[in-house]
């Protein structure tokens, strides 16, 4: 069976550049990470972050799903997603530090916010990328709700 868009000969040539399928998979993951970092950045969260995340996901839905849905389930590639999650959690903690006091609820929210944002984007992709003009606002509403849930009552 041939891969979509490739003839059997092209598949063989592609695999010759890598020692194994795992190396090819890692190269694809690294490329998806680089594209995501280029689009969204890797050190801060601001008003452009969610729209940038949606644009990156919409431009490469397969790469986005590969990173956040499939690689997370593969022990051999878990380090890739763990690195992204660690960085995202640190960014979220800095961002919510102004509104959620230090403690267990801030820790909870810092872990929840990136997970909610990623799952919201994947759900948006799976739904066919509806209403691109309002998608960022809707994802931002979900993120704000997670932050609000962690605030003192």
Question: Which are the contacts of 81, defined by CB distance < 8 A and separation ≥ 6?
Answer: 67, 68, 71, 72
- CATH topology classification for 8-150: Tetracycline Repressor; domain 2 (1.10.357)
pLDDT in tens, 30-71: 888 888 889 888 788 888 999 999 999 999 999 899 999 988
Domain ranges of the chain: 8-150
- Cα–Cα distance measured from residue 127 to residue 100, given in angstroms and rounded to the nearest whole number: 32
Of residues 105 and 32, which shows the higher confidence score?
105
- Cα–Cα distance measured from residue 119 to residue 68, given in angstroms and rounded to the nearest whole number: 9
- Cα–Cα distance measured from residue 28 to residue 32, given in angstroms and rounded to the nearest whole number: 6
Q: What is the phi/psi pair of residue 119, to 5°?
A: -65, -35
| Lowest mean pLDDT segment, chosen from 23-27, 53-57, 105-109 | 23-27
- Cα–Cα distance measured from residue 144 to residue 153, given in angstroms and rounded to the nearest whole number: 16
Exposure pattern of 18-49 as b/e (b: 16+ CB <10 Å)? eeeeeeebbebbeebbebbeebbeeeebeeeb
| Lowest mean pLDDT segment, chosen from 4-18, 26-40, 111-125 | 4-18
Cα 58 → chain centroid: 12
* Single pTM value for the model: 0.83
Cα-only R_g, the chain:
18
What is the average pLDDT value for the chain, to the nearest integer? Answer: 87
DSSP 8-state symbol, 77:
G
- Cα–Cα distance measured from residue 31 to residue 129, given in angstroms and rounded to the nearest whole number: 22
């Amino acid at each position: 069976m041939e891969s979509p868009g490739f003839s059997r000969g092209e598949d063989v040539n592609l695999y010759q550049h890598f020692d194994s399928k795992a190396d090819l998979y890692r190269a694809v993951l690294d490329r998806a990470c680089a594209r995501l970092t280029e689009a969204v950045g890797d050190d801060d969260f601001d008003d452009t972050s969610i729209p940038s995340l949606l644009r990156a996901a919409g431009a490469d839905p397969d790469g986005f799903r590969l990173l956040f849905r499939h690689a997370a389930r593969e022990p051999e590639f878990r380090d890739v997603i763990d690195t992204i999650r660690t960085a995202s959690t640190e960014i979220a903690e800095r961002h919510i530090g102004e509104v959620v006091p230090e403690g267990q609820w801030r820790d909870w929210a810092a872990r929840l916010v990136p997970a909610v944002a990623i799952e919201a984007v994947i759900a948006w992709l799976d739904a066919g990328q509806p209403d691109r003009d309002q998608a960022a606002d809707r994802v931002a509403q979900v993120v704000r709700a997670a932050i609000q849930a962690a605030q003192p009552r």
